[in-house]
Structure 1
Amino acid sequence: MNESKNKYSCADFAFKAPAILFLATSVLAIAFSCTNSGKSRPTVAPDSTRYTRTVLAEGLDEPMQMVILPGNDVLFVERKGGVRLYKDATKELRAVANFEVFSGIEDGLLGVVADPDYEKNHWLYFYYAVAGEQAVSRLSRMEFRNDSLLRSTETVILEIPTQRIYCCHSAGYLKFDRAGNLYLSTGDNTNAEETAGYTPVDERPGRELSDDQATASNTNDLRGKILRIKPLPGGGYAIPEGNLFPKGTAGARPEIYVMGARNPYRYSIDDETGYLYFGDVGPDTEMKASDGELMSFDEINQVREPGYYGWPYFLGNNQIFGKYDYATGELGPGKDPSKPMNESPNNTGLKELPPAKPAMIWYGKNNSTYFPQVGNGGATAMAGPVYYSKHFKKAPYKLSDYYDGKLFIYEWIRGWVMAVSFDESGNFKGMEPFLEHWNFDAPVDMQFASDGAIYMLEYGTNWFSKNTNARLVRIEYAEGNRRPVASIEMDKQYGAAPLTVKLSAGGSIDHDEGDKLSFRWRVEGENKQGETVSHTFTKPGIYDVELTVSDGEGGEGTTSNRIYVGNTPPEVHIHTSANRSFYWDGSTLDYAVEASDREDSVSVADVSLAFGYIPNGKDAALVLSGGQDPSSLRYLKGQQLIANLDCRSCHSIDKESVGPTYQAVAARYRGTPGAEGLLVNKIIDGGSGNWGERAMSPHPELAEEDAREMVRYILSLGAGQQQLAPQGVLRLDSHSGRDADGVYLFSARYTDHGANGIPPLNGHDHILLRNPLLQAEDFDAGNVRIATVTTAFMSYVYGIQNGSYLSFRDIDLTHVRRIGYRAQASGAGGTIEVHLDSIGGPVVSRLEIPAGNFSGAENGWKEVMGSVDETHDVHDLYVVFVNGDAGDKALFSIDWLKFYNR
């Protein structure tokens, strides 16, 4: 029975023989439960191989919200004003419009949604900060026809006065409910950077913009809210029944559905229950909850009816903030959640507020006691859609019924998606990771298409900037036959015109065994067939290559990649007369660097050179892949710690984001006494004030030594690269007294200036020198066995027979005169032959190992030497063991090999 190709229902087993009924109840009950209607529901999450992810567009400029149009066209807005359309039929991304917006602080073009009757009226609604001197954000409607946004049809629905002096919080998400009511989330628009670790309730004269009691907890202000209105055909709006304050209530705006929110950035509306779920982005505060946890909570809220959600007086499960007096610096008692009173002089609304409602889910920067699966670090909680199977009855990519009735929440900073389950009363029951086998780079919007596919917008790594990893992604789920996963490999991606590229689909996979795959390519408007094809690009330009893999069972997987024609990567070479594989005591590395570029005039003085010793040689691969400077590689652990924590959400090495660049930090603290300890404490404890008032998240669970490694790496960035001449001699003297695992890395890198619209490209060469002693069990290929002696902390190769071999790739024998072997002569004996490039290649060294035992050897082991013929250049070495008279007897054992230069 192939479970990957079959689905089951309770009816499949209802009238079968008793033995089959027994099987159904005792085995299949593990995976399914049955409802009274006879429909089966899986009780185990689907396998991750049933999902495929396709990147539809990338390199976006701060994508905010999308709307999925008929035919799976996707229109989305970018914060700086861009409106872009992905055409599903042609797989192309188009620029539709560009709004003139104020994009300072967190404002800009923030939201878009289609009218419920879009297919008839073609109305789209936008929320944006109007450009110019007037501080106002506008909700308006326009027609979108024939892939064009008709700006002349703009009809203003609502305008909200704001302030543009202080950061932060704009929200701006838009959604309709089943009744045609339009919801708009607004941030508190309050100074969030001068809170001294408390809440923004600054009541001093002239500090009105630093008082959240004037916005989020003000019944007469539309900020820090989720509004609910009914747009009218001619413009403006009506107030639907059932909002928080009835029409005509003095001092209260009737548009308010939810108030007391800080930054309700993403929300959704459950089409079955009518409940609204919203994520509220929390503060960084020094105040503690009743259980001792810092009250820096992000929240996921369930709204069953209009209500007040507590900010800035309460957070989490109605934990109370003490009232901080900014004039005296004293902390007083907080408000009563059952009867909160807004007594601020900046309040223009009702004094008595509705009772505060607690959050459904809340979590801070540390590991949560109540919701441990959310992790730790920085946070930006978002509420996504609720999934119902019945809404996708005939949808080809509908999710498994396992997710029926579950809410999806997601995290901008932590990059996860969770599925939240409820009990029969609609209360929180639990959560579990969803699509955890993928990483998402700041997911900013998540929606279901009518065909059941999930669309995800990813904002990308750096804040307030265009990111190469800002993407529009489509995720499809398949029951029964699984779709193939398409993969493109190419022999070159860059080059001058004409450029011939060989393309291969050999890396594509199908998780269903036995399917016969076929491959279809689309290149420059041409269709090509076959697992491997080639194509010649005759003109400069950037070209998309699309591959579709079909499995013959109706399943298809598609992927694409880009070819850049018009700029050739630079050629960089390091020439040396020294050995390129090994270092020896007292040796040196002479070098001369050569560089050329087809489009540029290159001077070797422009080539970036770096040289360093890496104590853990396995880290060299990380260095080479990331292009780091080897001269600071003793700080590699700190670099890796930074990459794996939440630091990248606010900082980068050299690009401005929310926080300062690491290079700026290094420059500020270079040579400052006590800087290392100061920064270690800052990483662990958090804080604000050194780079503005925006708070830095604490990391109290981080070990002090790990924080110190991070600081040392950051400070090393201010030292600059080691200056090396294009030609010279380097001393290899840093390995003395160290473990044998270390390596020397000499790197040469040049970046050209770009050409013909193609961005700059890198050329690179390197020499990696390792210890001349190689453990025999570290062979790259071979047909021998490995023994491990735990008491002696050693492993070795044993069971060597006639014809056994070991292979080591890319070994330079230049200046190598002898090879030593630590051998154990405990068998029939034989000859060790060293061949170049294949088992039958030229022999450059032979050594006889006698039968029996070595005389005077310690525990039977002894180093023996074999001379090496003069050999140059890099080769694959095949160490072959020969004794044609030994039959199947063991010859001897080998512990290690060592290469000598004298």
Structure 2
Amino acid sequence: MTLFEFKAPAILSLAAFVLTIACSCSNNGKSKPKVTPDSTRYTRTVLAEGLDEPMEMIILPGNDVLFVERKGGVRLYKDASKELLTVANFEVFSGIEDGVLGVVADPGYEDNHWLYFYYAVAGDSAVNRLSRFEFRNDSLYRSTETVILEIPTQRIYCCHSAGYLKFDAKENLYLSTGDNTNAEETEGYTPVDERPGRELADDQATAANTNDLRGKILRIKPLPQGGYTIPEGNLFPPGTPKARPEIYAMGMRNPYRFSIDDETGYLYFGDVGPDTKVTGADGELMSYDEINQVREPGFFGWPYFLGNNDVFPKYDYATKQEGPGKDPAKPLNESPNNTGQRELPPTQPAMIWYGKSNSRYFPLVGNGGASAMAGPVFHSKHFKKAPYKLSDYYDGKLFIYEWIRGWIMAVSFDEAGNYAGMEPFLAHWKFDAPVDMQFAPDGAIYLLEYGTNWFSKNSNARLVRIEYAEGNRNPIPSITMDGQYGAAPFTVGFSAAGTLDHDGNEGLAYQWTIEGEHYDGEEVSHTFSSNGSYEVTLRVTDAEGGRGSTTRNVYVGNTPPDVRITTGSNQTFYWDGVDFDYEVEISDAEEPVNPDRISLTFGYIPNGKDAAIVLTSGGDASSYRYLRGNALLSSLDCRSCHALDKESVGPTYQAIAQRYAGQSGAEGLLTEKIIHGGSGNWGERAMSPHPDLPREDAAEMVRYILSLAKESGKLPLSGALTLTDHSGGGKQGVYLLNATYLDGGANGISALTGRDYIVLRHPEMQAEDFDHGNVSIATVTTAFMSYATGIKDGSFLAFDDMDLNGVARIDVYVQASGVGGRIEVRQGNETGPLIGSVTIPPGSFSGASEGWKAYPVELDGKYRRDRLYVVFRNDADRGNPLFNVDRFYFSNKR
């Protein structure tokens, strides 16, 4: 498994693994707070989004943030102007996982303006290069490139490039490198293929090779004139035969993210693990991701060991037989492809390790795909006057995070520096593939989120700033707009009405910045006169000086296509034996309508509340029938590797559906693959297992995927539909006619989708489903019913957007249990046009299931599609209960 895949000291006592929720440990004699800080004390601001594979960032003076994008971009976020600039583009080899991978500032940056980049050199020479450049006045001077180090690589097979950069307190530079080995033909074992011609599939030539710089964390001291020296204390002193002195730690698969604790000097790294079929000592598959603590240079096991020094068997790729594994105390690299020392240092076990199923030692990490990352260690004393520094509760804790699972954990240590526990951090937020995490000098946390799809520019790839406030909390701004896409000139109204202030400060001040112009007020309007993409920034300040900001984009130059469904039939209800006629009209201001981009689907959804999910997810007709499977695919880690129709690391769902279309037993086969994992059908790239997923859930997912290959029976743009699928299906289902059109984009603005839809529901509606009203709802569990009660003169129930076309009467199911009165049906509001009424006599029923009778309200035919009000009246007795109401039936017959 690669980073772009799903995916310690010897075992401590189980007590050491207990979750540390409240710690009374102290640093330097100072007691820590015992209570986890309130989550409302954090504010999260998206500074930039729509990034193209962000990798690593550095926080420059003034809170400017420079970060690199894998395919070559160097971007700069200017804090003062809130702009995102492109300051350079490297020409790089960006195949497999290579590209611009790392960036770091020199410890003396404020004087020398040096930045270091690690990138894959473009062209035919397979080399990754560490170079230094000058960065001044928001410009990267490419002519100042000074080469520090070059590492030969292979570019034939994927994967593992790593490439993260950090300086320690002694100004030593660390660089992580992946094993750069064929990771796709491992047959469920580790890549130790010693057959002739298979050298690139043998990790013993890289990660376990003392004479190779791949699969390592290197430590060097760059020289001003270029090149470097070797700091004292690396794993192999200079002059050691068959060993590279740059190596600080070795035996790694893909040490993608690491950090250095400036107080202890310990290095922490996350190593992205494999998918294997080998069972470890505790019965779990040895597909571990690891978080490692490096107190001194050493060998960390790959490809011979994982986790708590669990041993892989020696797999012979020629005979397909397992042999005995290595000895962790004295591992030997006996591969014919090894150019380094035969005897390796003793193997160091992981501090934290976890596989695809629930971990018995680290249960909080969850299950499914994994890509472990090690972030920074927080020390309060480094942020003494920082306005946004974290609570002292987190003093001395390490932050680790998960690319696939989207969480951040705070790891605690005992007085000896050993692992003591972990706890969720910012668990109220879900992060979209966090790829870098750093503290700013002002105490704020900066996060880079890679986004959903691999090797892609993602709309949810973001630069995020997170602030913590001890006293007055910052307001959380919210922008709503009455239009986001349009043709120039384009006037947009903006509102900050959704802004949240947890401290309830009055007199919030709103300032907007749009195209360099400034506006004040909760609601503003702006006209964009030219085509382009524009940032709209809202800054909100409270009376105590707290402030927050947020940004949204407006796109001018492409108007969403207009899609309309017209019908002469009722647009709210369906009835037995009544067809539904329709006509779809589409127009696009920028181009002629392309029939190939029209999608018109119709289907029956057994649970009407799920119609909103289908519309939100852009579902098609097949997703109606297999809605649960579609929802499960969206909620699990599957979306990190697969998409409906867009290539990512794994095949698209449509491609899977086509491959298995019509095959006998395909549902069972694919269900097993989801649960147990597998490889070999789409190359050797492994698929993560989901052992804790219920079999029926996995089967539902497969049914949805396979449904994508079925002919949907493309509907004409006009016609009549016979409604028969609801027969025997109860009263909760709905029909959904959904028309969408994707335009071709225009004037540099991406393609937009227009949509119209009609939802038809069962003609019986329960009183408790009202949208507005002033009655009480009684629920009687023994009678399995709810009904409206407490009805007095002037009470009402209202239902939004009701089409009464074809409705002849409304049967109101009433229990005459009070003084009686009159039911009036009106439109628009409580005193709107009266379209029908019925008188209810007095009665004295007390049992919930007694005396219910249908009272017909004959309609006069003079109505329109509007909000429907059911108003209850008794002019003579305005204080006593009138009656109870259970439900309404909208009949198309007199």
Instruction: Give TM-score scaled by structure 2 length.
Output: 0.96
Alignment partner for residue 102 of structure 1, among 77, 93, 96? 93
- Cα 1:871/1:732, change in 2 over 3 Å: farther
Report the AA paired with residue 60 of structure 1: L
- Cα 1:32/1:291, change in 2 over 3 Å: closer
Alignment partner for residue 692 of structure 2, among 683, 698, 701? 701
In structure 2, what is the equivalent of residue 441 of structure 1? 432
Q: Output one character per residue of 1:302-359: Cα deviation in whole Å (capped at 9) or x when no partner.
A: 0000011011111001011111111111111111111111111111111111110000
The answer to whether the 8 A contact 1:853-1:860 is kept is: no
Residues of 1 paired with 2:578 and 2:219: CA distance? 76
Alignment partner for residue 549 of structure 1, among 540, 545, 548? 540
Q: How much does 1:640 deviate?
A: 0.6
Q: How much does 1:802 deviate?
A: 1.2
Q: Name stretches of at least 5 consecutive residues in structure 2 with no aligned partner.
A: 1-20
Residue 504 (structure 2) pairs with residue 478 (structure 1)? no
Q: How much does 1:542 deviate?
A: 1.8
The answer to whether the 8 A contact 2:817-2:846 is kept is: no
In structure 2, what is the equivalent of residue 565 of structure 1? 556
The secondary structure found in structure 2 opposite 1:42 is coil
Report matched runs for 1:140-539 at 5 Å.
140-539=131-530
In structure 1, what is the equivalent of residue 621 of structure 2? 630
In structure 1, what is the equivalent of residue 643 of structure 2? 652
The answer to whether the 8 A contact 2:215-2:252 is kept is: yes
- Cα 1:822/1:550, change in 2 over 3 Å: same
In structure 2, what is the equivalent of residue 25 of structure 1? none
Report the AA paired with residue 618 of structure 1: K
Residues of 2 paired with 1:856 and 1:145: CA distance? 82
Q: How much does 1:31 deviate?
A: 9.0
Q: How much does 1:755 deviate?
A: 2.2
The answer to whether the 8 A contact 1:565-1:758 is kept is: yes
Report matched runs for 1:728-739 at 5 Å.
728-739=719-730
- Cα 1:106/1:490, change in 2 over 3 Å: same
- Cα 1:261/1:885, change in 2 over 3 Å: same
In structure 1, what is the equivalent of residue 6 of structure 2? none
Residues of 2 paired with 1:857 and 1:497: CA distance? 61
The runs of at least 4 consecutive aligned structure 1 residues that moved more than 4 Å come to 30-40, 603-606, 853-858
Alignment partner for residue 830 of structure 1, among 821, 824, 840? 821
Residue 675 (structure 2) pairs with residue 680 (structure 1)? no
Residues of 2 paired with 1:900 and 1:828: CA distance? 28
- Cα 1:404/1:35, change in 2 over 3 Å: closer
In structure 1, what is the equivalent of residue 13 of structure 2? none
Alignment partner for residue 863 of structure 1, among 841, 851, 854? 854
Q: Output one character per residue of 1:591-645: Cα deviation in whole Å (capped at 9) or x when no partner.
A: 1112222222337785321110000100001111222113431101001111111
The answer to whether the 8 A contact 2:64-2:76 is kept is: yes
Q: Output one character per residue of 1:795-844: Cα deviation in whole Å (capped at 9) or x when no partner.
A: 11112111111111111111110111111112111110011010011111
Q: How much does 1:751 deviate?
A: 2.0
In structure 1, what is the equivalent of residue 879 of structure 2? 888
Residues of 1 paired with 2:578 and 2:794: CA distance? 36
The answer to whether the 8 A contact 1:143-1:150 is kept is: yes
Report the AA paired with residue 141 of structure 2: L
The secondary structure found in structure 2 opposite 1:885 is coil
The answer to whether the 8 A contact 1:814-1:871 is kept is: no
Residue 39 (structure 2) pairs with residue 48 (structure 1)? yes
The answer to whether the 8 A contact 1:140-1:158 is kept is: yes
Residues of 2 paired with 1:357 and 1:541: CA distance? 55
Q: Output one character per residue of 1:653-672: Cα deviation in whole Å (capped at 9) or x when no partner.
A: 11111110111111111111
The answer to whether the 8 A contact 1:609-1:722 is kept is: no
The answer to whether the 8 A contact 2:290-2:353 is kept is: yes
Residue 767 (structure 2) pairs with residue 760 (structure 1)? no
The secondary structure found in structure 2 opposite 1:851 is coil
Residues of 2 paired with 1:70 and 1:63: CA distance? 20
When the two chains are superposed, the root-mean-square deviation of aligned CA atoms in Å is: 1.7
- Cα 1:242/1:605, change in 2 over 3 Å: closer
- Cα 1:841/1:473, change in 2 over 3 Å: same
Q: How much does 1:540 deviate?
A: 2.1
Q: How much does 1:244 deviate?
A: 0.7
The secondary structure found in structure 1 opposite 2:782 is helix
Report the AA paired with residue 846 of structure 1: S
Q: Output one character per residue of 1:375-409: Cα deviation in whole Å (capped at 9) or x when no partner.
A: 00000000000000110111111111111100000
Report the AA paired with residue 508 of structure 1: T
Report the AA paired with residue 799 of structure 2: F
- More displaced 10-residue stretch of structure 1: 524-533 or 626-635: 626-635
The answer to whether the 8 A contact 1:593-1:604 is kept is: no
Residue 84 (structure 2) pairs with residue 118 (structure 1)? no
Residues of 2 paired with 1:195 and 1:651: CA distance? 22
Residues of 2 paired with 1:841 and 1:222: CA distance? 80
The answer to whether the 8 A contact 1:515-1:553 is kept is: no
- Cα 1:402/1:588, change in 2 over 3 Å: same
Residue 562 (structure 2) pairs with residue 576 (structure 1)? no
- More displaced 10-residue stretch of structure 1: 749-758 or 390-399: 749-758
- Cα 1:190/1:603, change in 2 over 3 Å: closer
Percent identity between the aligned chains?
Answer: 72
The secondary structure found in structure 2 opposite 1:795 is strand
- More displaced 10-residue stretch of structure 1: 847-856 or 139-148: 847-856
In structure 2, what is the equivalent of residue 24 of structure 1? none
Q: How much does 1:38 deviate?
A: 8.0
The answer to whether the 8 A contact 1:101-1:129 is kept is: yes
Alignment partner for residue 608 of structure 1, among 583, 599, 608? 599
The answer to whether the 8 A contact 1:623-1:630 is kept is: no
Residues of 1 paired with 2:595 and 2:882: CA distance? 53
The answer to whether the 8 A contact 1:631-1:722 is kept is: no
- Cα 1:245/1:463, change in 2 over 3 Å: same
Report matched runs for 1:677-826 at 5 Å.
677-826=668-817
In structure 2, what is the equivalent of residue 23 of structure 1? none
Residues of 1 paired with 2:598 and 2:678: CA distance? 41
Report the AA paired with residue 731 of structure 1: T
Report the AA paired with residue 575 of structure 1: T
Report the AA paired with residue 327 of structure 1: A
- Cα 1:874/1:686, change in 2 over 3 Å: same
Q: How much does 1:792 deviate?
A: 1.3
The secondary structure found in structure 1 opposite 2:135 is strand
Report the AA paired with residue 359 of structure 2: S
In structure 1, what is the equivalent of residue 891 of structure 2? 900
Report the AA paired with residue 417 of structure 1: I
The answer to whether the 8 A contact 2:371-2:403 is kept is: yes
The answer to whether the 8 A contact 2:91-2:122 is kept is: yes
The answer to whether the 8 A contact 2:208-2:251 is kept is: yes
Residues of 2 paired with 1:345 and 1:514: CA distance? 71
Q: How much does 1:153 deviate?
A: 1.1
Report the AA paired with residue 288 of structure 2: F
- Cα 1:833/1:603, change in 2 over 3 Å: farther
Alignment partner for residue 84 of structure 1, among 67, 75, 88? 75
Residues of 2 paired with 1:36 and 1:303: CA distance? 21
Residues of 2 paired with 1:838 and 1:475: CA distance? 45
Aligned residues: 873
Q: Output one character per residue of 1:424-447: Cα deviation in whole Å (capped at 9) or x when no partner.
A: 110001101111111111111111
Residues of 2 paired with 1:855 and 1:401: CA distance? 61
In structure 1, what is the equivalent of residue 7 of structure 2? none
